[in-house]
Structure 1
Amino acid sequence: MSKNTKTVLGRRAFLSGSVAAAGTIASPALAQFGNTTEVERDLTEVVKRNISSFRSLDWRPYFSNTKNGAILVDISSRVLHYWSEDLSIYRLYPSSVPLSEDLTRRGRTSVIRKVEGPSWAPTPAMRKRNPEWPAFVGPGPDNPLGTHALYLGWTYYRIHGTHDTRKIGRQSSNGCIGLYNQHIQELFGYAKKGTQVLLI
């Protein structure tokens, strides 16, 4: 084997090892936010997730003030932003969003109620689309609202947790905004009745 061949093989081995090491180091971050996700409405296929819009934002283009705190949900980038009233706290959470445009509501509302261990009942429209669904689900691991829920001023709309973590980062809800349970628990502690909410 020539010296040049050894050099080329040595470089290839180094690059292969570096790529493998980089993949190992990056995996915890990718496990949290994911560089892949299942296709919307089909949990058997895997596609790349676009997380290019998962970035911090300034509150001022969206709110005139941060009285009672402010929540911004960006449907297109599937991200929820939270700012505390005194701006000492800013959080950015990946979220699930509605399945389709006709289920999506945009505009301004506010948190009107907070519930730990929420129960769930499908809306009349959901029952019509999915007659096989149960009429009521109490708190617990089978509840679609996860461990905590923030009820909004719009009827039937909530920001809530989910026990099915595959839904986060996807179009997967019937109108609500879903977060990982650990994230909704944190947001639940920050938000209060009257916290401003804007969906764009």
Structure 2
Amino acid sequence: MTIDTDGPGRRGGRQARRWLRAAVLLLAAGSAPLLAAGVPADWPKGHYPLPEGSDLIGQDYTVEAGAEETLLDLAREHNLGYEEIRRANPDLSVWMPGEDTEVVIPAQRLLPPVPREGIVINLAELRLYYYPEVEEGEVPRVETYPIGIGREGFDTPLGKTETTMRIENPAWYPPESVRQEAAARGEQAPAVVPPGPDNPLGDYAILLGFDGYLIHGTNRPDGIGMRASRGCIRLFPEDIESLFARVPVGTPVHIINRPIKAGWHEGAPYVQAYRPLEAQENGMAQLLEALTLLSQSAAGESMALDYRQLRGVLDAADGQAVAIRPAPAPAPGVAEAESEAGGLYEHLGGQQAVLAAPEV
């Protein structure tokens, strides 16, 4: 017997979101060849030409699970981490989605709102972006990878730094916190863990200017896409191997924590929201932040956005990149009647969020 623990409001909201995602994927199916046409067939998953005049990369799609495949298997194969594939497929079993079950692969993303150079790590979306330098005549590109980051109490630091050293087959020297935890269990932590299958750093490590922090591999790949480290940035073994060979010492690294991203694509404003790492209200401040981000990425004539849709995207915080509709024409007196919007009308003038559209 299945016990329904959701109230009718939650059931309706979840069902509506599933129908919306299905509709988006059906619409995308017709346009996917056009969107993917600019990506060379031999490029790995998660590698894209750097878009000109756009902030959007990738396209959501679906795959069918094999008889023995888990969601974690599919996540790794399709350049996703744990949280991403769980969020996109909330009703599927992680370990037994079932043969021929349709699995959503959320591969559409807005680029982070920071300079597109070197390595950019957005903790809120558990993802790394790499903008490699290219030779004259080469196609500028962006590569993106799922990551694991510091768990609560071992936060990954924010700010700008650079890569300082690359080490193949690194040894791991357990920090004092590990030694203390081992002592509390009546155990003794080793002074050093040599390279090999028991080494949590994996086979490759890229040192950062932040003392004691690295971008490295892992011997526990199921933790990619989660807050599971002691502050370092973990990648799948194959991803760190690829980056290790190509990221030079001195590459700039910008670590941010932006649960809300906003940008433009083909003249339309987009917003993509994630659950914040720390508990915080998902209200007026976030709404204004999204509008500010859109305004910063735009210039030219102003346009009005649908406030209710924008608020819904922020409340869902499901990682979908959503095109925000123009605002409907307000009925007479609607600003006075819509008390639930509170002080938003003072800032934005009724239910219309006004911002500048990009020049074309």
Distance 1:183 1:22 in 2: 22
Distance in 2 separating the partners of 1:100 and 1:151: 22
**Structure 1 alignment gaps of length 5 or more:** 1-20, 38-44
**1:99 paired residue among 148, 151, 155:** 151
Q: TM-score, normalised by structure 2?
A: 0.41
1:167: which partner in 2?
223
Distance 1:82 1:22, change over 3 A: closer
Task: Give the number of the structure with larger relative contact order, counting CA–CA contacts within 8 Å between residues 6 or more apart.
Answer: 1
Please give the per-residue CA displacement for 1:35-59, whole angstroms capped at 9, x wherever unaligned: 239xxxxxxx98xxxx86x644547
RMSD: 2.8
Shift of 1:163: 1.5
Residue type at the aligned position of 1:121: Y
Instruction: Give 1:61-140 correspondences, 5 Å limit.
Output: 61-63=113-115, 66=117, 70-86=118-134, 88-100=140-152, 102-131=154-183, 132=187, 133-140=189-196
Gaps of 5+ in 2: 1-61, 88-93, 96-104, 257-360
Give the equivalent residue in structure 2 for 1:157: 213
2:249 equivalent to 1:197: no
SS in 2 for 1:199: strand
Q: What's the counterpart of residue 86 of structure 2?
A: 36
Closer/same/farther in 2, CA of residues 136 and 84 from structure 1, 3 Å limit: same
Q: From the superposition, tell whether residues 137 and 29 of structure 1 become closer, same or farther in structure 2 (CA, over 3 Å).
A: same
- In 2, Cα distance between equivalents of 1:31 and 1:193: 27
* Pair 1:130–1:108, CA change in 2 (3 A): farther
- The structure-2 alpha-carbon separation of the partners of 1:158 and 1:31, relative to structure 1 and needing over 3 Å to count, comes to closer
Structure possessing the higher radius of gyration over alpha carbons: 2
Deviation at 1:123, TM superposition (A): 1.8
Give the distance between the partners of 1:112 and 1:146, measured in 2 at CA: 18
Residues 62 and 191 of structure 1, relative CA distance in 2, 3 Å threshold: same
- 2:170·2:205 contact (CA, 8 Å) conserved in 1? yes
- The residue number in structure 2 matching 1:5 is none
Q: 1:198 to 1:101 in 2, by over 3 A?
A: farther
Q: Distance in 1 between matches of 2:212 and 2:246?
A: 22
Distance 1:125 1:29, change over 3 A: closer
Tell me whether 1:144 sits opposite 2:200 in the alignment. yes
Question: Separation in 2 of the partners of 1:184 and 1:88?
Answer: 21
Distance 1:99 1:155 in 2: 18
How many residues of Structure 1 are paired with residues of Structure 2 in the alignment? 162
3-state DSSP class of the match of 2:195?
A: coil
2:192 match: secondary structure:
coil
- Kept in 1: contact 2:214–2:233 (CA 8 A): yes
Q: Aligned pair 1:23/2:64, yes or no?
A: yes
Deviations 1:134-178 (A, max 9, x none): 221011111110010000011110000002111100110000000
